Amino acid sequence: MPSPILPIRISNLRLIKGGRAVLDGVNLVTEEPGITVIMGPNGAGKTLLLRCLHGLIEPDQGQITLGHLSVAESRDQQAMVFQHPVLLRRTALQNLAFAAPGVARSEPQQLIKALESVQLAERAHQPARMLSGGEQQRLALARALLIKPALLLLDEATASLDPASVQMIEALVKTQIAQGTKVILVSHDQGQARRLADDVVFMSDGQVVEQSPANDFFAAPKTPVAKAYLAGEILL
Amino acid sequence: MNALAEAFRLIITLDADLFEILRLSIRVSLVALIIAAIIGLPLGTWLAITRFPGRKFCILLMNALMGMPPVVVGLMVYLLLSRSGPLGWMGLLYTPTAMIIAQVVLITPIIAALSNQVIEHLHQEYSDTFQSMGVTGRRAVVAYLVDARYALTTCILAGFGRAIAEVGAVIIVGGNIDHLTRVMTTAIALETSKGNLTLALALGTVLLALSLLVNSLVIGVREYAVKRQYA
Amino acid sequence: MKHFILFVALAFSTPTLADTIIVQSTTSTQNSGLYDYLLPMLKKDTGVQVNIVAVGTGQAINNAMRCDGDVLLVHARPDEETFIAGGYGKYRRDLMYNDLVIIGPKDDPAKVAGALNVNEVLQRIMQAGVKFASRGDDSGTHKKERLLWQAAAIDPDAGSGQWYLETGSGMGATLNTGVSLGAYVLTDRATWIAFANKQDSTILFEGAPPLFNQYGVIPVSEKRCPNVNHEAAEKFAQWLLSETGQAAIAAYQVEGKQLFFPNANVRLNSSIELK
Q: Is C2 touching B (CB cutoff 8 A)? A: no
Give B-chain residues touching C14 at CB under 8 angstroms.
Answer: 95-97, 180
**DSSP calls for chain A:** ---TT-SEEEEEEEEEETTEEEEEEEEEEE-S-SEEEEE--TTSSHHHHHHHHHTSS--SEEEEEETTB-HHHHGGGEEEE-SS----SSBHHHHHHHH-HHHHHH-HHHHHHHHHHTT-GGGTTSBGGGS-HHHHHHHHHHHHHTT--SEEEEESTTTT--HHHHHHHHHHHHHHHHTT-EEEEE-S-HHHHHHH-SEEEEEETTEEEEEEEHHHHHH--SSHHHHHHHTT----
**Which of C74, C42, C98 shows the shortest CA–CA distance to C244?**
C42
pLDDT given at position A153:
96
Q: Which residue of C has its CA nearest to B171?
A: C53
Q: Is C197 touching B (CB cutoff 8 A)? A: yes
Residue B215 belongs to some domain of the structure: no
Give C-chain residues touching B84 at CB under 8 angstroms.
Answer: 66-68, 225
Residue B212 belongs to some domain of the structure: no
**DSSP calls for C137-154:** S--HHHHHHHHHHHHTT-
CA distances from C205 to A21, C105, C129, C147, C211 (A): 90, 12, 18, 17, 10
pLDDT category at A4 given cuts 50, 70, 90 is confident
The number of folded domains in chain A is: 1
Residue A141 belongs to some domain of the structure: no
The CATH number linked to B27 is: 1.10.3720.10
**Which of B141, B121, B133 shows the shortest CA–CA distance to B46?**
B141
pLDDT given at position B6:
83
Residue A112 belongs to some domain of the structure: no
The answer regarding whether domain C14-97+213-270 maps to CATH 3.40.47.10 reads no
Identity of the residue in C9, C63, C175 whose CB atom sits nearest the CB atom of B92 = C9
| Run of H or E residues at B145 | helix B137-147
pLDDT given at position C5:
55
pLDDT given at position B229:
78
User: Do the Cβ atoms of B147 and A90 come within 8 Å?
Assistant: yes
User: Do the Cβ atoms of C12 and B90 come within 8 Å?
Assistant: no
Structural domain for B154, as ranges: 18-181
User: Do the Cβ atoms of B229 and A129 come within 8 Å?
Assistant: yes
Mean pLDDT confidence for B142-166 = 93
Kindly give, in sequence order, each residue whose CB lies less than 8 Å from that of residue A97, ignoring residues fewer than 6 positions away.
A104, A108, A111
The number of folded domains in chain B is: 1
Residue A104 belongs to some domain of the structure: no
Q: Is A81 touching B (CB cutoff 8 A)? A: no
Smallest CA–CA distance, residue B195 to chain C, in Å, is 5
Q: Is C204 touching B (CB cutoff 8 A)? A: no
Structural domain for A180, as ranges: 8-86+149-230
Give B-chain residues touching C198 at CB under 8 angstroms.
Answer: 195
Number of B–C residue contacts, CB under 8 Å: 94
Give B-chain residues touching A54 at CB under 8 angstroms.
Answer: 132
User: Do the Cβ atoms of B229 and A127 come within 8 Å?
Assistant: yes
Give C-chain residues touching B194 at CB under 8 angstroms.
Answer: 31, 172, 194-196
Angle of helix C77-85 versus helix C140-151 axis, rounded to 10: 120
User: Do the Cβ atoms of B39 and C171 come within 8 Å?
Assistant: no
Q: What are phi and psi of A204, to 5 degrees?
A: -155, 135
pLDDT given at position B13:
86
> Using CA atoms, how far apart are residues A153 and A134, in angstroms rounded to an integer?
18
Give A-chain residues touching B147 at CB under 8 angstroms.
Answer: 88-90
pLDDT given at position B11:
82
pLDDT given at position B29:
96
Angle of helix C140-151 versus helix C57-65 axis, rounded to 10: 120
| Whether the predicted model's global pTM rises above the 0.95 cut | no
How do beta strands C20-25 and C49-54 pair?
parallel
Give B-chain residues touching C67 at CB under 8 angstroms.
Answer: 82-84, 88
Predicted interface score ipTM higher than 0.95 = no
Low-confidence residues in chain C, pLDDT < 70: 1-18, 265-275
List b or e across C226-242, with b for residues whose CB sees 16 or more CB atoms inside 10 angstroms.
ebbbbebbbbbbbbbbb
Residue A33 belongs to some domain of the structure: yes
How do beta strands A151-155 and A20-30 pair?
unpaired
Chains that touch C (3 or more CB pairs under 8 A): B
**Which of C76, C196, A135 shows the shortest CA–CA distance to B229?**
A135
Residue A169 belongs to some domain of the structure: yes
- A205, pLDDT greater than 80: yes
User: Do the Cβ atoms of A55 and B131 come within 8 Å?
Assistant: yes
Q: Is C12 touching B (CB cutoff 8 A)? A: yes
Using an 8 Å Cβ cutoff, are C42 and C255 in contact?
A: no
* Topology alike, domains C14-97+213-270 and C99-211: yes
CA distances from B57 to B53, B61, B112 (A): 9, 6, 14
Per-residue pLDDT reduced to its tens digit, B1-25: 677 888 888 888 888 888 999 999 9
Give A-chain residues touching B146 at CB under 8 angstroms.
Answer: 90
pLDDT given at position C15:
46
Question: CA A114, B119, B45, A149: dihedral to nearest 10 degrees?
Answer: -30
The CATH number linked to A185 is: 3.40.50.300
pLDDT given at position B228:
82
Number of A–B residue contacts, CB under 8 Å: 37
Identity of the residue in C5, C27, C53 whose CB atom sits nearest the CB atom of B177 = C53
Q: Report the range of poorest mean pLDDT among A51-65, B11-25, B30-44, C235-249.
A: B11-25
pLDDT given at position B135:
93
Residue B3 belongs to some domain of the structure: no
User: Do the Cβ atoms of B134 and A89 come within 8 Å?
Assistant: no
pLDDT given at position B17:
85
- Probe site for chain A from B129, B145, B224 (most A CB atoms < 10 A): B129
Residue B4 belongs to some domain of the structure: no
Residue B150 belongs to some domain of the structure: yes
Mean pLDDT, chain B, rounded, equals 92
User: Do the Cβ atoms of A130 and B228 come within 8 Å?
Assistant: yes
Select from 3.40.190.10, 2.40.160.40, 3.40.50.720, 3.20.20.80 the CATH code of C99-211.
3.40.190.10
Give C-chain residues touching B97 at CB under 8 angstroms.
Answer: 8-9, 12-14
List, as ranges, residues 37-56 from C with C-beta within 8 Å of B. Answer: 51-54
| Run of H or E residues at B3 | helix B2-12
